[in-house]
Structure 1
């Protein structure tokens, strides 16, 4: 935003705040400094309409009324009651939790709204503390492109339409939905609402929406049914296991299956300690069970029921056949990783900063370094903002009308002296997005065991204060966005023990199941903090085995022991920058390309892909970057005929070889199937 544009818009805000009646566009053109630059009437109209839109987007409520009683021409003003932030007083513990709530959205699409909310609260002198409780780092991610328009539609009570691809289907179907709210469950966002075309309540995962989401700006407002429980509606989508299967798994293998098993019976061991154990495993669908077991290749075998054994044999045969067919017919190389368009960081809106800096500095003995720290700015930026401020003021723009800023004092001694700025003395009210982002962040904290140590009901108190200050519309929006954190009893216990070790400064010993490999390692870890992202809690700490900072997902901690001596994080070791998420990718990681049938498109939804290329036959090529190609091999084994490794070729051969070894366990099933096909075939 150019300085001249900022100056013009600030003058417009001052003018509309100071008037007692609605001013027509022509009156504004004649009185507000900056509009004289428009040479023609059409140029002025474009400039004025753009300024109004940008001011409203910044949360500045411009009213429309009758400006000329004789002609009926529209006029504009800003009501102080709509503009000014009501007084909010926070106790020290409330300031802590509010800072944590804003931190939850730091790396998500609502991060700017949460940051702006804190900016406005600070301008009112509210002591928001974003660095307190450094041991806990809550984080929500909103990577789905549909999140923004769906959030806006729920905020404005508007219907939406979009193309939606159900799992296992090739094409996408058009949907018209009246959205009631969105829920985050196990790291994925879902919208709950009324499907107009099917006249029924439906749940849609945002990551499966294709193309853009269209918000209907016409028609009646969406009405949310009374008493609807968004969380319950979404959680009902999860099926409950109804059947059990018997498996044999290799010693020290298939650890994820072991954790799900109802019973584990150790088998005999050979001289090397190797052997087979028997598992009783609950499952809901044959397809889901087959995928889980197939990912372990020859180290896990289904014993019964017989239909699942047959499905396993067919699934593994599909892996082998798909790899052979690819070697014979697929000569095309995997697609290069598409260069994503550069997205530079957006600069802070100077107008918004000025509207917050003035209320904070007026009547306070403050200096440039203090203001810079308070608002997270550089000292140079504060002085630059002050230099623009003294050129603005009331229409007339005589010395008595302009805001008075002592720039010499700001540059030489750092002292900030502002006068004649009573029009901007009160801070700007929070927008619906800003207030709701904080309220939803508070609800996330309320669901986390790690935040239960906050005493005195600070979470509820500060949420109520925000709702009161922002109004009923914000409460409705905040209630329509819910985060469901599902933690079983064992993980909750692990969380509490990690939190205790963190506060006591004690070292931990972990038996940890790798997220990439079917492997358990022993780790001594000096805890540095807890990270909560998308419903999963991670322990962040210095790992003595790796000699570096690592993140450990708590549901993969098999055993945890608090050691009786102090943690000692090496000097200079700091916590990770999680702006790109918990998953840390590197240019050193291997690139693996998968060919995916339409039924396997979920891979592109559940995993971060470098690129996804649509092929002419309906197939998709997805390229992933990973430090452990063996993990992608396990993924390919689980896909069966629905996907295969395209490159590197050596990894594709490894997948085929492992599938052939696994098939040997099902030889009797394959032979019996072949015999039936031979005897029943026509002559």
Structure 2
């Protein structure tokens, strides 16, 4: 859809909304299409295509027939759209309901459906049905991004298309091509699963997204439907947890403290201590792929003795990372200076959808600065001005001044005085309804937020869910097909201690295991806020020993208690909402990464400052890192999805790390000589 077609569709929509008796094709052709040269057949095809496009935006076009004439007589057929067609129903929310809804939408901030959640909130704000509420102080639960495969599957489910991909089966370890009708997408045991109908096997199957070895391709020419009443959460609850196994590992002496805390030393018969600088550990695990990701990151500091499938999984990741690192270098070139967040290529369909949100938003938010409006919609100032220029040239067919949008932004603030019946937001899209309803369902286990009791929060969750389900209508059908991960903190005691300290303004004393530095330290901190990625919780705090902001994982806090002092006030949580997992500093190292299409989501995870799309669908990403010592671990962990391009010394260090890790498995040596007792 070109920009001119976007403008034509907008004018057609306004014309059909602003007529009581309907408009004939002849009038529309003359007043909207301004077409005198095309044949009747060509115009008819164009008009029918435009009707289909408006239908996709949810507008039902009524066909009116003059008495005594048939529908095959274009001269006697008129068209109109009812003023309430596709309007979002009123959804009046209490402050408590608005708070939990904002929490639910914020879950997707850096994950798939994030833009859909933001769009849905704008619609509620534009209708005046969402009061000005803020996130509860100190707590921000979020869902961990699930990668490009998640986005592609959501798009396929929304469009009702099958998907195809290569998949490594857990039972055989072999890669196979799969063609699947996607019925549901959900999280279980810390992993995302696709539930669908496998056409090749003529049966329902479960597919773990992390076992997909190729990009997910949407088969747009094919059609499928989600079975009525399908509930992904119920389907995933039927999955049994994998059996507990034991990994036999050789670990470098004095290294990997976190891994050692989970394992038991297993010395060879007659041995009094570590042999050849290595200690054999027995570590319990359930999921070989999940443990392999961790063990690969340890590089030459750990090797797998058994079981074979775990060993193979680690080697496969290391070999893939080494192969990617050895490829010929690509040109490092970013087309634009300054921040350029990664995004799907914008289309004119996106622009029309945005303008249908923009008009009611401006009606209910008069006088906002241009840049603030652009920021609210996640677009640039230039893109917003292009939208406004199209709007002021659009209007009713008559073309008089009062028949056009009246929008003014000359003083850097935007005002709208004529909205042409577009003052109410359109209904939620499937993605928008899914983002809000799935988010609300995910919040069920979250501890009560400040200002609300457990009963009040539970009641607000239930009532706002019922209201939004009614407003979403048919668009809510996808909500049951997506099941988010739990966000309940694993350590409720530590969560409560930090929450109380934030509210009271008290310092905390903690003993903390740093995975990157492989060391344990004691800190005095001013806690600022808690946030999560799935049920892995972090807290941001001002660290007095480091004299700066730091982020701490709750599951790596070994001891935690108030130290009897009040916070120093050296830092506050007001600098950024939502909190970032990685806080940039002036002494950071700027690193250029090359990401495959499957790994492109890492650019968002690590807040890339600049990105550039590569011809193969991958991505260049410029990211700031405060500590680069762990980057070889990062490359090994992601097994061929990422490599370092610049600085060159970091790229070389990463390649050496991978080579040393693989050398453990390719040649017999002291590691293999140690036998379990």
Fold match, TM over 0.5?
Answer: yes
Written as runs of structure 1 = structure 2, the 5 A alignment for 1:651-662 is none
Of 108, 114, 123, the residue aligned with 1:105 is: 108
Q: Which runs of 5+ in 2 are unaligned?
A: 615-620
Distance 1:494 1:72, change over 3 A: farther
Partner of 1:617: none
Measured in 2, the distance between the counterparts of 1:644 and 1:152 equals 28
Partner of 2:259: 257
Partner of 2:90: 87
1:184 match: secondary structure? strand
Deviation of residue 568 (structure 1)?
2.7
Partner of 1:509: 509
Partner of 1:418: 417
Q: Is the 8 A contact 1:592 1:647 kept in 2?
A: no
Q: Is the 8 A contact 1:172 1:210 kept in 2?
A: no
After superposition, the C-alpha distances for 1:302-337 in whole angstroms (9 at most, x for unaligned) are 9xxxx8599999999x99x99xxx9xx999687457
- With 496-505 and 631-640 compared, the bigger mean Cα shift is at 631-640
Measured in 2, the distance between the counterparts of 1:312 and 1:170 equals 11
Partner of 1:31: 31
Measured in 1, the distance between the counterparts of 2:634 and 2:393 equals 62
Q: Does 1:223 align with 2:227?
A: yes
Q: Is the 8 A contact 1:85 1:426 kept in 2?
A: yes
TM-score normalised to the size of structure 1? 0.70
Measured in 1, the distance between the counterparts of 2:222 and 2:313 equals 50
Distance 1:70 1:155, change over 3 A: closer
After superposition, the C-alpha distances for 1:359-386 in whole angstroms (9 at most, x for unaligned) are 5777x8x752499979948999999988
Q: Is the 8 A contact 1:120 1:427 kept in 2?
A: yes
Partner of 2:61: 63
Rg larger in 1 or in 2? 1
Of 435, 438, 445, the residue aligned with 2:436 is: 438
Of 396, 416, 433, the residue aligned with 1:394 is: 396
Deviation of residue 96 (structure 1)?
1.8
Distance 1:575 1:447, change over 3 A: farther
Distance 1:424 1:559, change over 3 A: same
Measured in 2, the distance between the counterparts of 1:203 and 1:293 equals 26
Q: Does 1:132 align with 2:151?
A: no
1:221 match: secondary structure? coil
Measured in 1, the distance between the counterparts of 2:17 and 2:643 equals 64
Q: Is the 8 A contact 1:295 1:636 kept in 2?
A: yes
Deviation of residue 465 (structure 1)?
0.7
Aligned pairs, number: 630
Q: Which runs of 5+ in 1 are unaligned?
A: 615-621, 674-683
Distance 1:172 1:393, change over 3 A: same
Q: Is the 8 A contact 1:153 1:159 kept in 2?
A: yes
Of 275, 282, 285, the residue aligned with 2:284 is: 282
After superposition, the C-alpha distances for 1:477-527 in whole angstroms (9 at most, x for unaligned) are 1111111227574x3322222222222222222222223232222222222
Written as runs of structure 1 = structure 2, the 5 A alignment for 1:101-500 is 101-129=104-132, 131-142=134-145, 144-166=147-169, 172-185=175-188, 188-207=191-210, 208=212, 210-215=214-219, 218=222, 221-223=225-227, 229-230=233-234, 232=236, 236=240, 238-243=241-246, 253-261=255-263, 281-284=283-286, 308=306, 335-336=329-330, 355-356=356-357, 367-369=366-368, 376=376, 392-398=394-400, 402=403, 405=406, 418=417, 423-449=421-447, 451=449, 454-455=452-453, 456=456, 457-471=459-473, 473-485=474-486, 489=490, 491-500=491-500
- With 439-448 and 240-249 compared, the bigger mean Cα shift is at 240-249
Q: Is the 8 A contact 2:167 2:175 kept in 1?
A: yes
Measured in 2, the distance between the counterparts of 1:178 and 1:371 equals 44
Measured in 2, the distance between the counterparts of 1:649 and 1:289 equals 26
Q: Is the 8 A contact 2:549 2:571 kept in 1?
A: no
Q: Is the 8 A contact 1:96 1:129 kept in 2?
A: no
Measured in 1, the distance between the counterparts of 2:643 and 2:385 equals 59
Deviation of residue 82 (structure 1)?
3.6
Deviation of residue 90 (structure 1)?
0.8
Q: Is the 8 A contact 1:637 1:659 kept in 2?
A: no
Measured in 1, the distance between the counterparts of 2:278 and 2:464 equals 56
Deviation of residue 528 (structure 1)?
2.1
1:146 match: secondary structure? helix
Partner of 2:618: none
1:423 match: secondary structure? coil
1:564 match: secondary structure? strand
2:34 match: secondary structure? helix
2:466 match: secondary structure? helix
Deviation of residue 197 (structure 1)?
1.0
Q: Is the 8 A contact 1:449 1:495 kept in 2?
A: no
Partner of 1:678: none
Aligned CA-pair RMSD: 6.0
2:141 match: secondary structure? strand
Q: Is the 8 A contact 2:185 2:481 kept in 1?
A: yes
